[in-house]
Structure 1
Amino acid sequence: MRHETYRAAGVGGPARLAELLEERAYLADEGLATACFLALEMGRPLFLEGEAGVGKTELAKTLATVLGAPLIRLQCYEGLDAAQALYDWDFARQLLHLKAAEATGATGAGEAARLEGELYDRRFLIARPLLRALETQPSVLLVDEIDRADDEFEAFLLEVLSDFSISIPEFGTISAATPPVVVLTSNRTRDVHDALKRRCLYHWLEHPAFEREVAILRRRLPECTETLARQVAAAAGRLRGAGLLKPPGVAETLDWAEALLTLGARDLDPGLASATLGAVLKYREDQQTALAGGLLRDA
């Protein structure tokens, strides 16, 4: 099934989709643009895997903008269960409804069945991200960091993505008239089961090559000079090759460049690099490694 959002966006192919993403300051290479295009064309979820900070979440946000659809985000974490992702009943409003019925005398024996039915009306149903995505057409559903969720939730998610419908015992079945565009991300803190990956189209996001990272810096931070962009990208590349606990991703590189620009930097000297290191390296051990190894001196 093709998504209405895909047709509305006028995407003619991977190259055109890459252009639309770039117009919104996201630079996708040919492989990523092709994976996104095929996910839209084939109506399949897109599974993005890669280290933190390489642009997985940002892609989903930008794709939603391209498609003119709201982004609905489900942030995964350990202990996430179906109720927290799907729906809940608004018990406070249900209780108020009961009290109102009591105040008007509508709680007699003959009214009990009707009142019970009213308690499970749609107005008392709180839609969590998955239910909102099924009810919102069009929409982009971002299931962020699925690797942080438990195996049980993974199995549940696979069931939802198989038919894009859910059954609520007190209410009935809700199905998506037009399935949402689904993007799943993983930082690979653990392996996601093959069954879920088979349901999706898969793409691994690498750290960008030097020239692409320079282009990203210039595109996202127009005030960044060519010299500063190249120096920051080169320094980030050295840091990624230093065996750090948490190598910087593109997000950290952008933060670093923005911090330097805030200080009025036109180029990157070792003093400024050291002073702003907290924008790019978030572990003390990594900062010590960078400083002791002279990784900033060639900046």
Structure 2
Amino acid sequence: MASASSIDETLALLAQGDYVADRPLATALFLSLQLGRPLFLEGEAGVGKTEIAKVLAETLGRRLIRLQCYEGLDVASAVYEWNYPRQMLEIRLAEASGEADRDGLGQDIFREQFLIQRPLLQALQPQAGGPPVLLIDELDRTDEPFEAFLLEVLSDFQITIPEMGTIRAPQPPIVVITSNRTREVHDALKRRCFYHWVDYPTAAREMEIIRRKLPGIEDRLSQQIVAFVHELRSRDLFKLPGVAETLDWTRALNTLDCLEITPEVINDTLGTLLKYQDDIAKIRGSEAAGILAEINARLAAARS
């Protein structure tokens, strides 16, 4: 599918990449694609925000350009920097040949061939298959000055390089921005985007995710997995398991040839679901056995 001209087609586009989306998410994505506005996705870690950009790039046949954000991210890492070793080599070669002209050389070393393009600048360049998908991942990890710099990029899809001038995208890239909400992103940036909160999926949708991503898993095992994970998400834990952890746990249980979950299996594999020792200690043992007993009772009642 080359494009999506309706919300239903957007749902189908995501499904083509085995992404199980709800209609509100598909609506936000459809509007973002149609109106050329960035899509700002916020939610807990592991709920599938980053995957949306990957699926879009795959199903639309576009290049995926990813800017992984972190504290201290600067222009040199995100946008561009000059290749100083090559510039110095050019200067020395010119001096050695006796052709060094200070004014001319000053212009020559600030040509495109000496420019190292980082993700944001790459995303503004023409691409053979059409505008790329630009993923700005975990924006909340950066600081406010970098957010302010992004305003020019997201408003006009242009970047100003003092030595070369302003570079504008011939066609705006498809922009997906994600945040785990470890801090609030400034309103000025959010206003330039369509916003959607990506929540944990319903049990039915999480079952469908397992079926699509890991076909061949027995229904009873999938039901136990989803029910157990959803029960954990209702507990007071430091870090609740996301969809990524659900899939990791399913893969682990399948690798261990488990046909159903037992208390012993939970204790042995809890580290694939929970990533903090305090959380593991809180659930392991009698607590896990009690949760599993309740789940099995509910599943048995539903089948009868």
SS of the aligned residue for 2:67 comes to strand
> For 1:260 and 1:197, how far apart are their aligned partners in 2?
40
Aligned with 2:182: secondary structure? coil
String of CA shifts for 1:179-208, please: whole Å, max 9, x gaps.
001111111111111111111100001100
Deviates more, 1:59-68 or 1:125-134: 59-68
Structure 1 residue aligned with 2:123 = 133
Displacement of 1:92 in angstroms is 1.1
2:36 to 32, 35, 43: 43
Matched letter for residue 54 of structure 1: V
Aligned equivalent of 1:166, options 143, 159, 170? 159
Q: State the identity as a percent.
A: 54
Q: How many residues align?
A: 289
Structure 1 unaligned spans of 5+: 1-7
Deviation at 1:100, TM superposition (A): 2.2
Any idea what the Cα deviations from partners look like across 1:276-296, whole Å, max 9, x if unmatched? Answer: 111111000010111156235
What aligned pairs does 1:7-156 form with structure 2 within 5 A after superposition?
9-107=2-100, 111-137=101-127, 138-156=131-149
CA distance in 2, matches of 1:257, 1:273: 12
Residues in 1 aligned to 2:49 and 2:171: alpha-carbon distance in whole angstroms: 24
CA separation in 2, counterparts of 1:9 and 1:72? 19
Distance 1:165 1:296 in 2: 57
Once the two structures are TM-superposed, the CA of residue 133 in structure 1 deviates from its matched residue by: 0.5
SS of structure 2 residue aligned to 1:287: helix
Correspondence list, 1:204-215, <5 A: 204-215=197-208
What residue is the counterpart of 1:254 in the other structure?
247
Aligned to 2:264: 271
CA distance, structure 1, for counterparts of residue 271 and residue 6 of structure 2: 40
Task: List gaps (5 residues or longer) in structure 2.
Answer: 296-304
1:262, 1:38 → 2: CA distance? 41
TM-score by length of 1: 0.93
Question: Which secondary structure does the structure 2 equivalent of 1:219 belong to?
Answer: helix
Q: Deviations over 1:36-79 (max 9, x none)?
A: 00000011110101111100001111111122111111111111
TM-score normalised over the length of structure 2? 0.91
Cα RMSD of the aligned pairs, angstroms, is 1.4
For 1:78-113, what per-residue CA distance to the aligned partner results, in whole angstroms no more than 9, with x for missing partners?
111223211000111112222222332322xxx222
- What are the superposed Cα offsets for residues 206-237 of structure 1, whole Å, 9 maximum, x if unpaired? 10000110110111011322111111111111
Q: Secondary structure at the match of 1:132?
A: helix
User: Which one of 190, 200, 211 corresponds to residue 183 of structure 2?
Assistant: 190
Determine if the alignment matches structure 1 residue 239 to structure 2 residue 229. Answer: no
Change (3 A) 1:78 1:293: farther
